[in-house]
Structure 1
Amino acid sequence: MLKRRKNNKKGVNYMFEKLNAKIEKFENYINRINKEKKMVGVSVAFSYDNEIIYAKGFGKARLNSKQNITPNTIMSIQSITKSFASTSIMHLVEKGLIDLDKPLVHYLPYFRTSKKEESDKITVRELLSHTAGFPSDILIANIICPNIEELKDLREMQKTKGISDDVRKDIKSFEDITRYFKNVDLDYKPGEGFKYCTDAYVIVGDLFEKVSGISWYDFLQKNIFDKLNMTRTTLEPLKAINDKDSARYYTYDDSSFKEVSFPTNKIAAPIGFIYSTALDMSKYLVAHMDYKNATLLKSISLREMQNSYTRVNDVSSRFDVKNPGYGLGWCTGMYKGLNLVEHSGGYPGVKSFVRMITNKKVGIVCLTNFQETNVIEICNKATDILLDV
């Protein structure tokens, strides 16, 4: 799919000289990694300013039926979901219902870690920016998935952490996860470090529901998915699984592709269990760069999310990024002089990545159904080709 503005010197043809040649170069690159068996399926989309300029699928959505992947194929986006969770909180900030710099216990009095006097100081901003002091390996949010018996690595990690099945099965809500944090020891003082804690984002969902009085799932459907016309985006696992154009997920084992269990974990949805498409995610990126029209949030809120609040030391997964940091649900940094706001997602069989080049108003989406596919390399290649860097 390729769309262009006509007779507009500020449009796509102005921004991307020789666009067709660039697209051809990018497609040749994707076809090469497909031949090298470095992917099963890849769904990509590019946006510029307020429109989607390109979207295409490469490879297979399902190997058993040889079903092709498309820009409309529903796929797991995993931790990119965290930006949706932060967006929901910023809606409440705009309404004056949440102050980012107030302690979390002001809104969730039952929240605490093993040392209450320390965790009482954790602010909402620190929760969203992974600077609260939590360790990165709490694990509870991931192991409550209903299909854990099919995920051997998660099962082994549960045993290593010593979390019993009784404890795991007692988790039935966002609040239960928040209350579980009473067992957690902080690794550093709140606001004085950074550790990416995926479990903490279930607390974000709990915070939203307790302050707003409405379902986090319903809010996302009405105020993000419906509002942005993201018609093929859902939080419902069964809807994603049963859709005729939805992906299945693969690892590589014994020199062949092996299908793995479908990613599902509705109780812990804020950590990474939205299902979307490359086209829908492009609409989402466009809205997050719409500083003028406030389609999704006010400009000040968008920029608050995209501001770096902490430097990220472990950048092994984001090679070539300078000044890596983390905002509110978004990773930040510089790449060859370009301002980046982005996020990745990963799970058995899943790799996903979205990038906003905010000073150029360019968005790149890359969703895949094979965990060995290097989505960051694909996004870097797309960036290099589109912007001649």
Structure 2
Amino acid sequence: MTSTADTTDSTTTGTTTDLSAHWTARLAELAARHSVPGASLGILHRGELVAEAATGLANTEAGIETTTDTLFQIGSISKVWTTTVAMALVDEGLLELDAPLVSVLPELRLADEELTQGVTVRHLMTHTSGIDGDLFTDTGRGDDCLEKYTALLADTVPNHPLGATMSYCNAGFTLLGRVLEVVTGVQWDRLMRERLYVPLGLTHTATLPEDVLRFRAAIGHLGEPPAQAPQWGLMRSAGPAGLICSTPREVLKFARLHMDRGVTEDGIRILSAEGVAAMQTAQVELPDPYIIGHSWGLGWFLDTWDGRRVHGHDGGTIGQSAFLRVLPEEDLAICLLTNGGDTASLYREVFAEIARDLAGVTMRPGIEPATEPVAVDPADYVGVYQRLSSRLEIVERDGGLVMRDRITGPLAELVDETEHEYDMHPVEPGLFVVRRPGLKSWYPVVFYALDDGSRYIHHGIRATPEAG
């Protein structure tokens, strides 16, 4: 089942119509191949939305078809939106990237005094604060949910010292959202609407369920084969980290803001050109440069395809996955929103084909196991690595290694299965890959040590320390 947006307006060419028709058919084919219930795609090229496509079901139980106007959860792509508003406040002199957060949040209390006094906005934007990022505690539906959440961080044990490494941190962006509220006096959901949705002319973008449900909305699907998730969305306090819902068309309007150096299509400046450039400038290298990118900027992750610069972000909520990539030198941006199945494989096929056909660019290949034997001493890696939401136990079995992955803490209440076991396949010493059930892509497991000698695993973009 497919649907395309109206392609008869004055800006549409025959080529655009043909490209939308092509991708409507192609997306349906690839989504079926990867067991994705519903998907929506948009392509922005040379300043124009050159294609929109949608396929499948937004809700399999209700039989609701996906259209190009269906709202999906864009998940952690929301972090770049939050960062954009923060950087606009930096432009206005209301916020400083490297000033301690306590200068604007004097009541802030984190796990220890060094972290409390030292953490900055830059640490939050680059995921280097050390705050354990997966504290998914519901602090209610009230406008004070970010304030209440921030208070909980006093009892959250850091998973690495401040600035010592990079570990993906949802909690840090909820904290950043609270900073924005205090600096502006405007609650985060309203602030995003005032600062981004309205000036960008977005009519199908929202965060609160009562706003999203004014439109056709997707629900996530879990498992194999995908079945409707028992819960539509995360708690409200996760908003700045991942609760925006939108369409590819409107996500690409946001991407175009950054491609046009901070100015909207109507000529409204939201962010300075210097702020745009800073967001796309590497701030920290990733211990795992194999899965999404080699470094992190401010909000964006940064990658290279075929020698060309790429910035983007992914998002994952309860059974929904989102993908955004921008190739600035090719004036190309692509957004794919999905609601279950092997979404990573769908993303790779769709984006690789678009980048090749429209820009002549070859996507960076995914990581795979070594084709030749790798000399590995299992004793070098066996152990238990643990943080708030995850316990990784590396054990030796039949001369090889196995990873037992257990989800713990509040996050465990949001998933159906909390324990998985994966065979670890070596790529080189210190680098392995695992494959999750029902997925075709390989996921890296990187063993490394901090400057103080403490041992870590980097997996799922997160740093997990060896348990003492």
Same fold (TM over 0.5): yes
| Matched residue type, 1:94 | D
Conservation of the 8 A alpha-carbon contact between 1:306 and 1:341:
yes
Unmatched 5+ stretches in structure 2:
362-468
User: Which residue matches 1:206?
Assistant: 178
Matching residue within 250, 254, 263 for 1:284: 254
Identify the structure with the greater strand proportion.
2
Q: With CA pairs under 8 Å and 6+ residues apart, which has the higher RCO, 1 or 2?
A: 1
User: Which residue matches 2:145?
Assistant: 173
Matches of 1:87 and 1:170, distance apart in 2: 24
CA drift at 1:332: 0.8
Unmatched 5+ stretches in structure 1:
147-168
Specify the SS of the correspondent of 1:72: coil
Deviations 1:130-173 (A, max 9, x none): 1112234xx32x23187xxxxxxxxxxxxxxxxxxxxxx99952
User: Which residue matches 1:158?
Assistant: none
Deviations 1:311-358 (A, max 9, x none): 11234542xx5xx11111111111112211100001221010111111
Distance 1:36 1:64, change over 3 A: same
Matching residue within 183, 187, 196 for 1:224: 196
Conservation of the 8 A alpha-carbon contact between 2:35 and 2:341:
no
User: Which residue matches 1:362?
Assistant: 332
Matching residue within 316, 331, 347 for 1:376: 347
User: Which residue matches 1:91?
Assistant: 88
| Matched residue type, 1:343 | H
Distance 1:237 1:19, change over 3 A: closer
Conservation of the 8 A alpha-carbon contact between 2:139 and 2:148:
no
| Matched residue type, 2:76 | S
| Matched residue type, 2:132 | P
Aligned length: 350
The within-5 A match list for 1:243-254 is 243-253=214-224
Q: Indicate whether 1:296 and 2:267 are aligned.
A: no
CA drift at 1:81: 0.6
Matching residue within 281, 287, 302 for 1:313: 287
| Matched residue type, 2:30 | I
CA drift at 1:100: 0.5
Specify the SS of the correspondent of 2:123: helix
The within-5 A match list for 1:252-271 is 252-253=223-224, 255=225, 257-271=227-241
Q: Indicate whether 1:334 and 2:304 are aligned.
A: yes
Indicate the percent of aligned positions where both proteins have the same amino acid.
23
More displaced stretch, 371-380 vs 39-48: 371-380
Distance 1:70 1:205, change over 3 A: same
Matching residue within 27, 32, 40 for 2:29: 32
Distance 1:317 1:80, change over 3 A: same
User: Which residue matches 1:106?
Assistant: 103
User: TM-score, normalized by length of structure 2?
Assistant: 0.68
Deviations 1:254-300 (A, max 9, x none): x4533432114223211101111111111111111111746431111
The within-5 A match list for 1:19-98 is 26-27=23-24, 29-98=26-95
RMSD: 2.9
Conservation of the 8 A alpha-carbon contact between 1:133 and 1:187:
yes
Distance 1:52 1:114, change over 3 A: same
CA drift at 1:24: 6.4
Greater Rg by CA: 2
Conservation of the 8 A alpha-carbon contact between 2:143 and 2:187:
no
User: TM-score, normalized by length of structure 1?
Assistant: 0.81
Matches of 2:34 and 2:183, distance apart in 1: 48
Identify the structure with the greater helix proportion.
1
Matches of 1:171 and 1:208, distance apart in 2: 14
